[in-house]
Amino acid sequence: MIQNRQRLYEAILAKQSFLCIGLDPDVNQIPASCGTGVGGMERFCKEIVDATHDVTVAYKPNLAFFEQYGAAGWAALERIVAHIPNECMVIADAKRGDIGNTASRYAQALFEGLGADAITVTPYMGEDCVRPFTAFGAGRWTIVLALTSNVGAQDFEFYGDPPLYERVLEKAQAWGTPDNMMFVVGATRPHHLARARALAPEHFFLVPGVGAQGGTLEDVVKAGWNPQCGLLVNSSRGILYASPDSDFAEKAREAALELQNSMAHCLKATT
Amino acid sequence: MIQNRQRLYEAILAKQSFLCIGLDPDVNQIPASCGTGVGGMERFCKEIVDATHDVTVAYKPNLAFFEQYGAAGWAALERIVAHIPNECMVIADAKRGDIGNTASRYAQALFEGLGADAITVTPYMGEDCVRPFTAFGAGRWTIVLALTSNVGAQDFEFYGDPPLYERVLEKAQAWGTPDNMMFVVGATRPHHLARARALAPEHFFLVPGVGAQGGTLEDVVKAGWNPQCGLLVNSSRGILYASPDSDFAEKAREAALELQNSMAHCLKATT
């Protein structure tokens, strides 16, 4: 459990990494050596964790990939989360969002049941959908979607003047603190990432979209850095599927190390 | 499976009901006679279904109440869904919303894995988060959040001019058809429900907020009716917890019947 942003910053300095590894285990891409079905998915994720935990500060399991297999998938996810070393943050990428009494249950399911340290939350329905997560106390993080990295972000996140994502950044800050709330801000629109940083100078940003989606680490650091780093940069496919063969864990480590090296340079340049 | 809105309208006429019963089983409110924990929750829901399936066209299990119990909760939900008679629509109230490859997995998890006929979806991230659900083919419904019934709706759903919820109603119509897409429009703001109906004249609306939250069936019908009824009105607490004792199923039936009677009057007045 990482109690606040100072502790998170210390974890980042200790590992010289602000990497988050997305666990999106696609059964069609998992090497045959792991086995098939839910069992293969579980083994694959655990081997990825074993090969990378010293160079990443967080793992972000994407719940859809597990829910897809119903109760069996959920049980596998529980075992994978239990397998992740305590010093790594577990971000349940669930993008939940529902009214108070329901949101409380999602928070309980993911913080307590699953043992996640952080949960991604959709802000569409407003304050009463976010507060039940931030109410959970120290060491439990709520990560509110602000500006996502996908093409469809154009449809509503940019609606209005100023655009909706700016409104979300401004309003949602009142529902938590920089010590228990982060924002999702994508890497694919660096100009807007800089704008988000201006609006939320103290919060950590969870940044998807580096790699396959076209964002670069350099642009992200330039636009989103703050005095405590302020960034968790996610990579999923580039690490998980670095090799389609039985050397996948070794190649995943190499891909993670490459990112971590670049991150260490950024950290050295600023501290 | 209900193939299109004409079939849904026929089901409504046959039962003289446009009721949807929300399955939000709160272990603190479940009568002791059902037992405790996940087992009690399962028994409670099944008895509610047994007592009400002839007067309701849909059930809407709220996934948070099951996820809260991890793999065991998920397995109970699977058995409850299997227990619901085929002629009733099962709406997975999941409020999912994520990018394409993830959304496809949520759709698969809930349409195929769980056997739901419909899924509620959050539009925040835009088109690529909604299309994977509507792509699932006939008889699978995507229910997009437009204007929710909670207080927090004020924060973002009314942002901009015209308000964001109107923008959602306009844009999202292009991502499905009235035969595989509905919208969530709350009962608590009848004036805006009428506006939503003007913007989406042909779509069914799933309407929460009648009862405990203050909306009335009369206002909803006045504001939201269309030539094929166009409404699924949800009630959860008023039916589930009509009695705290072992007569809960009987009292739930009475509460559901009372609503169904009012609905039959509305249907007779318009056909």
> pLDDT tens digits for A2-58?
999 999 999 999 999 999 999 999 989 999 999 999 999 999 999 999 999 999 999
Q: Which residue has the tokens 């401004």?
A: A170
CA A19, A23, A27, A30 torsion-angle sign: positive
* Chain A residues 49-78 with CB within 8 Å of chain B: 62, 64-65, 67-75, 78
* Chain B residues 16-35 with CB within 8 Å of chain A: 24, 26
The pLDDT score that the predictor gives to residue B251 is 98
User: Of A62, A154, A168, which has the smallest distance from its Cβ to B156's Cβ?
Assistant: A168
CA distance A48 to A54: 11
For residue range B195-208, list pLDDT tens digits in order: 999 999 999 999 99
The pLDDT score that the predictor gives to residue A212 is 77
Query: Taking CB atoms and an 8 Å limit, are A124 and B122 in contact across chains?
Result: yes
| Phi, psi dihedral angles at B146 (to 5 degrees) | -115, -75
Q: How far is A107 from chain B (nearest CA, A)?
A: 8
Q: How far is A259 from chain B (nearest CA, A)?
A: 24
Position A59 confidence tier, pLDDT thresholds 50, 70, 90: very high
User: Of A71, A93, A155, which has the smallest distance from its Cβ to B171's Cβ?
Assistant: A155
Structural domains of chain B, count: 1
Specify whether the CB–CB gap between A92 and A110 falls below 8 A. yes
Query: Taking CB atoms and an 8 Å limit, are A109 and B68 in contact across chains?
Result: yes
What is the residue-averaged pLDDT of chain B?
A: 96
| Range A84-90 average pLDDT | 97
For residue range B69-118, list pLDDT tens digits in order: 989 999 999 999 999 999 999 999 999 999 988 999 999 999 999 999 99
| pLDDT(A140) > 90 | yes
Specify whether the CB–CB gap between A226 and A270 falls below 8 A. no
For residue range B140-175, list pLDDT tens digits in order: 999 999 999 999 999 999 999 999 999 999 999 999
Quote the DSSP letter at residue A210.
B
The pLDDT score that the predictor gives to residue B154 is 97
Determine if the peptide bond prior to A162 is cis (ω within 30°).
Answer: yes
| Range A211-218 average pLDDT | 87
The domain in which residue B141 lies consists of 5-270
Quote the DSSP letter at residue A255.
H
Specify whether the CB–CB gap between B153 and B147 falls below 8 A. yes
Test the B interface: residue of A23, A99, A128 with most B CBs within 10 Å: A99
DSSP H or E run through B172: helix B164-172
Q: What is the pTM of this model?
A: 0.97
Query: Taking CB atoms and an 8 Å limit, are B70 and A62 in contact across chains?
Result: no
Position B131 confidence tier, pLDDT thresholds 50, 70, 90: very high
User: Of B68, B151, B164, which has the smallest distance from its Cβ to A105's Cβ?
Assistant: B68
For residue range A143-155, list pLDDT tens digits in order: 999 999 999 999 9
| CATH number for the domain harbouring residue B183 | 3.20.20.70
Residues 6+ apart with CB under 8 A from A168: A123, A144, A145, A146, A183, B156
Helix axes B217-224, B190-199, angle to 10 degrees: 30
- For β-strands A58-61 and A19-23, DSSP reports them as parallel
Quote the DSSP letter at residue A112.
I
The pLDDT score that the predictor gives to residue B212 is 77
Q: How far is B209 from chain A (nearest CA, A)?
A: 12
| pLDDT(B263) > 90 | yes
CA distance A144 to A165: 11
